[in-house]
Structure 1
């Protein structure tokens, strides 16, 4: 028995043919093939329909080409009014690779998961993904808001990187890149009191180095070698940014273009 896919021009459709009837006929033929190959279990005298449908789907899927599988998968995602799950996007990229259009995909968890957790001596640690996957620890920040923004921006940058690669790979993936994707899951381990007391002017050595556009080692050397470098807040690893900025400016260490922003420039920021 030779079966062809409705997605394939070789399906033999002629002008005026009813596509729905053709699909029904092919599914009927596939069902007959499934029943001949392996009769499904029977519940109360009636074949278990779900099992039959699963076998029909699997048999039909096996007979599609790699390009057809990608087209079917993307079409199914477009039919759903819900935001597209990132796992389904990754599956589409894998199917594109099977059809000769490979897409380099960032680690899955680096596009879906993040957390902000209290660290030692008053800092807030930002994490993206899960170990050993994803990026793990991406930095320590002096405020909950700064750490949370770093997590969301890192996830969004990874997603935008994947979207750009999908647009370059094929029109099918480009259309999928244009859809809304599910929101990432970012957990913030902060109490209401900690959120209320949050001060964005408090920064860590990580932030000082980033804003001064130098390495953390270099910034820490300034602190160790210069007695005039502002001291951290008592009992913490946090500095008051206005004082640090004044010291950087007075010693000629403030970048000519100004301090770098904690929040990176996202691709979408240049489009609107």
Structure 2
């Protein structure tokens, strides 16, 4: 891919061109609006322009001179040079630049790629969500334990990321390189006290979990509970059940799924792309 104005700062002549270009761009951005100033210490030095602000504006002006393809190439090259995990926001920006080049990528909701939460619900349940308000929250489900809800959030975020990675690989070789890198970890907040964490019991399940494990709809589990007196009751004062008792009832009544009980995996909100 050819740059709009190829420059090689190693060669002497090109180095002078680079300096001239940077000088030109710097003059232009300072003419547009004065840069913020920084006073170095208290020893009477004169104020100087804030270098980071000037450089950022120079970079923006330079990028605007490039073609859409070159802007994408520059962005990807910068990501590949960094030894740190790729910020998801930068991967999303690369996807948007690729769309300007004729390689559109259907993006999941941004917050579903970056964050989630586990919050206490009513009557002993734990609510699993991805995203943040007011930007969009996807409710994954209610779980009987903190660990199950936390795993569901992480699994949902990772599923959304894998969806985006697959779309990036299919869209462009440059995006495929970004998709193949490690990405920054999501931020998952667990609203639980140390005592609640210590007392957490993974054998406690909600109606949502029972239905998922038994591979039926929640309405079917509600029918079992209403029509069969032997169906195990929930833990006193809660909306959670002790799974070994439920599993025994399902086994004794011939309701074990043909494929066996399903592992706890979330039902992604809305659709796979969230």
Task: Provide the TM-score with structure 2 as the length reference.
Answer: 0.84
The answer to whether the 8 Å contact 1:229/1:244 transfers is: yes
What's the CA shift string for 1:119-141, capped at 9, x where partnerless? 11111111111245444221111
What's the CA shift string for 1:92-113, capped at 9, x where partnerless? 1111111110001111111111
SS of equivalent residue, structure 2 residue 118: strand
| 1:30-69 equivalence runs, <5 A | 30-31=25-26, 33-34=28-29, 44=46, 49-69=51-71
What's the CA shift string for 1:49-97, capped at 9, x where partnerless? 5554344222211111111111111111222222111111111111111
Structure 2's unaligned 5+ residue stretches are 39-45, 267-274
Worse-matched range after superposition: 169-178 or 33-42: 33-42
Picking from 18, 21, 29, the partner of 1:26 is 21
Residues 11 and 87 (structure 1 numbering): CA distance in 2 closer, same or farther, change over 3 Å?
closer
Residues 51 and 134 (structure 1 numbering): CA distance in 2 closer, same or farther, change over 3 Å?
closer
Residues 50 and 141 (structure 1 numbering): CA distance in 2 closer, same or farther, change over 3 Å?
closer
SS of equivalent residue, structure 1 residue 129: strand
Q: Name 1:180's counterpart in structure 2.
A: 182
**Highest RCO, 1 vs 2 (Cα 8 Å, sep ≥ 6):** 2
Picking from 121, 132, 155, the partner of 1:153 is 155
Q: Name 1:108's counterpart in structure 2.
A: 110
Q: Name 2:245's counterpart in structure 1.
A: 243
The answer to whether the 8 Å contact 1:126/1:140 transfers is: yes
| 1:252 CA displacement | 2.0
Q: Name 1:138's counterpart in structure 2.
A: 140
Residues 138 and 30 (structure 1 numbering): CA distance in 2 closer, same or farther, change over 3 Å?
same
SS of equivalent residue, structure 2 residue 80: helix
The answer to whether the 8 Å contact 1:108/1:134 transfers is: no
SS of equivalent residue, structure 1 residue 186: strand
The answer to whether the 8 Å contact 1:230/1:239 transfers is: yes
Residues 93 and 12 (structure 1 numbering): CA distance in 2 closer, same or farther, change over 3 Å?
closer
Structure 1's unaligned 5+ residue stretches are 1-5, 265-272
For 2:131 and 2:54, how far apart are their aligned partners in 1?
Answer: 38
For 1:130 and 1:48, how far apart are their aligned partners in 2?
Answer: 34
Q: Name 1:267's counterpart in structure 2.
A: none
Task: Provide the TM-score with structure 1 as the length reference.
Answer: 0.84
Number of residue equivalences: 258
